[in-house]
Amino acid sequence: MRVIDIRKDSAGYDYIALQDDDPSKEYRVYNILKCQHESLPATLYVKVKSIDQFGRIKFQQDEGRLNREHYKVGKLYAFEVIDVKEDFNTNTPYYVIEDDFNEHRYFFKGDQKYNTGDRCILEVEGFTDKGFLKLKEVEHVSPSQVETIDLTTKDDKTQTSNASWAQLPVLNVGDESQTLEFKTSIAFPPGNGEANIDKQLYNILRVITAFMNTDGGTLYVGVHDTTKKVTGIESDYAYLNEGDKDDFNGSYNENNDGYQLKIRNTIDRLCPSLANSLTTIEFEEMSGKTYCKITVKPARRPIFLCGSQLFIRQGNRLKQLKGDEITLFITERMDVAIKDMIDIDGLGSKASIDADTLRKVLREVINERSAIPRDLPKPKPLGEIDYWIIWYEDGSWKRSRNKSDEGNVHIQVPVYKNLGNSILAFCYESGRVNTVKLAAFRKGVNLNILQTKNGWSRTGDKPMSVFLMHATDFLVGYSVDSNGIEYVKLHAISDYPPTASAANQGSPFVPESGSKIVTFGVIGAEHKKNVAHLIITKAKRSVEMGTPLTSPTLKEEINYLTKILKN
């Protein structure tokens, strides 16, 4: 079926909107793969899940077919453990694991080896009848060991061996950020063992145009994004004359000159002519490995990719603008251009036009949006407090009709009447987040009876905050990286599936290395349209810092968020 877009239903849940040959009908698929939040295909394979008595069809993705197309038997893949559960029917324990493509189950025998947030290297042994992966453990990888494992998935001809991987030089230029990005290749898309230079050059240009549309930046090609190992670009040379969309194929030399020419011709083909003048391409070498350094200047006008796609840089990720977001971006760029070109206060009194009138008109054009603050939605009435949940310093807790003034209270949260299906979000000092359904948390717990189970007690890690949230709310986090740069980002609380216990380790809100959480907050779904660019998808949950607080492009949204949290 033809893919339209990812949308939200009235309850705030994401779904993929589909159409068949009848354009008047729209179908929904809710089982969205992780990778599809970043890039949707043009078409989607679906299966009929059910047909109700009124003839309405429920579809689901054919994940088995997608898995067989993406994963190769005998190949190694890196996964992150995001939860530990038991099978409802067999009580068999399993890990919930995910990579950049999808979420999976991985059953284990014996003692539990991994915790939430750990990484593991697994081999694809095969597929079940339904297309699920059959996985075999290869090696447990801790963050300190990750550079000894080659996590790329190029084919055997170009794959770096584990032995030589450890000897590769490291490029110490910092982590990916608003102005810094790494790519290993211009020929091999991530997560794919086969060369596809057209697709990967498109990915490269998404980064380049996003830099142009934000603050500029530097893209290093031939450098591994996690370890900063210089893998080199030499293996790309053989693919410079491949692809179906380049009219100059056959003319590229397999060297640095051909490499630069391939990139520049692709920029000319997919971007406005201005783009190449904002781009500098250089080649540098470390320990016999050549890498490509692409320096990009910011543009004063919007730079569209393929004529209609507009990307910006948001922290260390890309964000594609759509609809009204494009209009807002273009208007902001017009404001900046006017400010740069005209010294309003410097207009002389002897100008050929009425200077006072011109000043007034130009100020109205420039300040129209910023002079009129966005209206804040009226806060929803909370109603009457039903009871308080009180946590003590040792992790024990109780429910009480009244707020406590005891000296050993760590956190206490009011629970209002008629809250419905609410969620408790435990935001730990380590930067991890764990959620528990309120109904499950309080089940069978009488008032004023001290509880020692299902609390948050964890060695060396206490909640910084505990929030009672609606299922459609957004969790806000402020953090700082190793360079002292402050960031903010939002996640839908639905990105953190509820666990059985508050003592569960949860999932990282920010990258666990090189970052520190400062504070958490909560906003309601009614604010989403005013902070949309600050929201991070589940697919980028634990690897994105978010948006720098100094971002000029998203200044309005950051200021709006500050007002909301203060209220």
DSSP string, 125-149: EEE-TTS-EEEEEEEEE-GGGGGGS
What gap in Å lies between CA 299 and CA 318, rounded to an integer? 17
Whether residues 365 and 393 share a domain: the answer is no
**What is the pLDDT at residue 357?**
59
- Nearest Cα neighbor of 279 from 218, 201, 333 is 218
Whether residues 510 and 481 share a domain: the answer is yes
Query: Does the residue 326 lie in any domain?
Result: no
Phi, psi for residue 249 in degrees, rounded to 5: -55, 140
What gap in Å lies between CA 174 and CA 183, rounded to an integer? 14
Cβ proximity of 523 and 469 under 8 Å:
no
Cβ proximity of 500 and 455 under 8 Å:
no
**Last-in-domain residue among 61, 92, 107:** 61
Question: Mean pLDDT for each 10-residue chunk of the chain (567 residues)?
Answer: 82 80 84 73 85 82 86 84 75 81 78 72 87 78 43 38 65 89 88 77 94 94 86 92 88 93 93 91 93 93 89 84 80 65 54 58 50 51 83 88 90 83 88 87 84 71 89 92 88 87 83 86 88 80 82 83 87
**Last-in-domain residue among 41, 61, 81:** 61
139-178 burial, b at 16+ Cβ within 10 Å, e below that, comes to eebeeeeebebbbbbbeeebebeeeebeebbebeeebbbb
Whether residues 178 and 29 share a domain: the answer is no
What does the DSSP assignment read for 312-377? EEETTEEEEE-THHHHHHHHHHHHHHHHHH--GGG--TT-SS-HHHHHHHHHHHHHHHHHSPPPPP
Structure tokens at 332: 């902001």
Query: Does the residue 350 lie in any domain?
Result: yes
Sign of CA dihedral 485, 490, 494, 499: positive
Cβ proximity of 257 and 268 under 8 Å:
no
Could you list the residue range(s) of the whole structural domain that residue 124 is in? 70-148
Whether residues 428 and 356 share a domain: the answer is no
**What is the pLDDT at residue 375?**
54
**What is the pLDDT at residue 146?**
42
Bridge partner list, 96: 83, 105
**What is the pLDDT at residue 59?**
86
Whether residues 76 and 52 share a domain: the answer is no
Which single residue is written with the structure tokens 């339904």?
A: 130
Cα pseudo-dihedral 391, 401, 418, 472, rounded to 10: -20
Whether residues 85 and 27 share a domain: the answer is no
Query: Does the residue 41 lie in any domain?
Result: yes
**What is the pLDDT at residue 162?**
43
**What is the CA 108 to chain-centroid distance, rounded?**
29
- Nearest Cα neighbor of 3 from 35, 34, 36 is 36
Whether residues 196 and 109 share a domain: the answer is no
- Nearest Cα neighbor of 424 from 435, 413, 416, 432 is 435
Query: Does the residue 337 lie in any domain?
Result: no
**What is the pLDDT at residue 557?**
87
Cβ proximity of 258 and 270 under 8 Å:
no
Query: Does the residue 330 lie in any domain?
Result: no
Instruction: Give the number of domains in the chain.
Output: 5
Structure tokens at 264: 């520049």
Whether residues 486 and 415 share a domain: the answer is yes
**What is the pLDDT at residue 150?**
41
Whether residues 553 and 420 share a domain: the answer is yes
Whether residues 46 and 82 share a domain: the answer is no
What gap in Å lies between CA 283 and CA 234, rounded to an integer? 12
First to last CA, the chain: 45
- Nearest Cα neighbor of 478 from 516, 433, 508 is 516
Determine if the pTM surpasses 0.75. Answer: no
Query: Does the residue 86 lie in any domain?
Result: yes
Whether residues 221 and 75 share a domain: the answer is no
Query: Does the residue 334 lie in any domain?
Result: no
Tell how strand 180-183 and strand 217-221 pair up.
parallel
Query: Does the residue 92 lie in any domain?
Result: yes
Structure tokens at 58: 């429920």
CATH number at residue 128: 2.40.50
Structure tokens at 467: 């929030």
Task: Walk across the sheet containing 180-183 and list its strands.
Answer: 180-183, 217-221, 289-296, 279-286
Whether residues 543 and 446 share a domain: the answer is yes
**What is the CA 265 to chain-centroid distance, rounded?**
30
